[in-house]
Structure 1
Amino acid sequence: MKLILASKSPRRIQLLEEMGYEFEIRTRSVKECFDDTSSSNEKAVRLAKEKAVAQRDALKENEVILTADTIVDGGKMLGKPKTKEEAKQMLRTLSGSTHRVVTGVYIGSFLTHVQFSVETIVHFKLLTEVEVNHYTNTKEPYDKAGAYGINGYAALFIDRIEGDYYNVVGLPLSRVYKELQTFGVVPTWAQDE
């Protein structure tokens, strides 16, 4: 089976490549909306499913699609900041508190699919204005939910996590690996020679 990644996320691409998967990237725009009363888990799964549905007409019988969406829930849903001020406000909201990072995942073929969410608890240290200002002057916060990337400079802001580190990066690898196996998709190193 051929793996199709319906994401342009540099982190998801890098994670799958590092795990040894061969895949094709196909994306279509899907409007992300946080305005309803669904839980962050439901929203993340719904957004991942919407990304897959947008690709469904192009999916071939020998292809498996993987989509994901990550939400930071710090009392309210935090998507990707559009401005420096929005990034600063998100970081101030997370500063000195605990929040949830939820990634919704959808994996599907022509015949079947699985969808799930994975949740990780992140404990942020109390940030200084110097830290907030410095970080928002980098490129890091602007393409990430909650305005931070755990695998970059913002790692310095985190006291500890409870759960899957890779979920916070953007793809819960252990669960994705297990589910992809059920669709016959394995990394190149695990394929029969």
Structure 2
Amino acid sequence: MTGSPVILASGSESRRRLLANAGVKAEAIRPNVDEDAAKATYRADNMRVADQAMKLAELKAIKVSQRHTGLVIGGDQMLNLDGEPIDKPKDMAEAASHLKRFSGKTHRLETAIVIAENGQPVWRHLSAPKLTVRPLSEDFIASYLDTSGEGLLKTVGAYMLEDLGAQLFTRIEGDYFTILGLPLLPLLDYLRTRGVLQS
């Protein structure tokens, strides 16, 4: 195919694998963005959770796009619990605390993606799946964390839907790929319009 090279501005193995499985050849380059500092600024300004995710995705895409030629994909996902952003748990104790807070409630995964080219954003998309967590007992949470292991700390909600995380939910409204971290279908559609993929 013709079209610009594709770069994934991320160290996320999940996003890289989703692209590869869908037939998109993308080089992964870490953007080296200070996410904690950026989030602190956004939250000091009382920015909506969805807007925080979009700003971070844009920041990552632009940073890599300023140094590399091609279509640079930046993505970010934030868990929105009643308007409060919830970050990845720092340790297993915090993961347990998060799951207790999610128990019996519905949250949104604000999942933003921005494509930058020549240091400028050229396309953006936001998806926000809604996930309803069933009431979780403390024994289940402890067993779930013990079985799943510390890999959960790399995920925003302390769950991997493709694994035991499926047991946490009674209802999911939204796209499976988006929950895994990448709104894949609209992204593929855009890459077709750019000649990266066959239409």
Q: Which amino acid aligns with 1:117?
A: L
RMSD: 1.6
Contact kept? 2:114, 2:121, Cα under 8 Å: no
Aligned match for 1:116, one of 125, 128, 131: 125
Structure 1 residue 64: Cα displacement: 0.6
Contact 1:64 1:183 in 2 (8 A): no
User: 1:140·1:148 contact (CA, 8 Å) conserved in 2?
Assistant: no
C-alpha separation in 1, matches of 2:31 and 2:117: 18
1:108 is paired with a residue of what secondary structure?
A: strand
Q: Determine the structure 1 residue equivalent to 2:170.
A: 159
Q: Quick check: 1:142 aligned with 2:115? A: no
Please, which runs of 5 or more residues in structure 1 have no aligned partner? none
For 1:81 and 1:91, locate their aligned partners in 2 and report how far apart those are by CA, in whole Å. Answer: 10
Query: Aligned equivalents of 2:167 and 2:150: distance in 1?
Result: 16
Question: Match of 1:133?
Answer: 142
Match of 1:80, SS? coil
Deviation of 1:175 after TM superposition, in Å, equals 1.1
- For residues 121 and 132 of structure 2, the distance between their equivalents in structure 1, rounded to whole angstroms, comes to 37
Q: Which residue of 1 aligns with 2:8?
A: 5
State the secondary structure of the residue aligned to 1:54: helix
Query: What is the alpha-carbon distance in structure 2 between the residues aligned to residue 156 and residue 2 of structure 1?
Result: 39
Q: Name 1:54's counterpart in structure 2.
A: 63
Query: 1:59-98 residue pairs with structure 2 within 5 A?
Result: 59-60=68-69, 63-75=70-82, 76-98=84-106
Counterpart of 2:79, as a letter, is V
Q: Deviations over 1:36-86 (max 9, x none)?
A: 3111110111000111122132122xx110110011111221111111111
Pairs aligned (count): 186
Q: Which runs of 4+ in 1 moved over 4 A?
A: none
CA contact (8 A) 2:65 2:117 kept: no
Kept after mapping to 1: 8 A contact 2:62/2:121: no
The aligned counterpart of 1:169 is 180
TM-score (norm 2): 0.87
Once the two structures are TM-superposed, the CA of residue 112 in structure 1 deviates from its matched residue by 5.6
1:180 shift after superposition: 2.0
Q: Note closer, same or farther for the CA distance 1:112–1:123 as it changes in structure 2 (3 Å cut).
A: closer
Answer whether contact 1:121 1:163 (CA < 8 A) is retained.
yes
Percent of residue pairs bearing the same amino acid type: 28
The answer on whether the counterparts of 1:3 and 1:23 sit within 8 Å (CA) in structure 2 is yes
Q: Secondary structure, in 3 states, of the residue corresponding to 1:89? A: helix
Q: Deviations over 1:98-152 (max 9, x none)?
A: 0101111001222761122111110111111122112323123200012212122
The match for 1:20 is 23
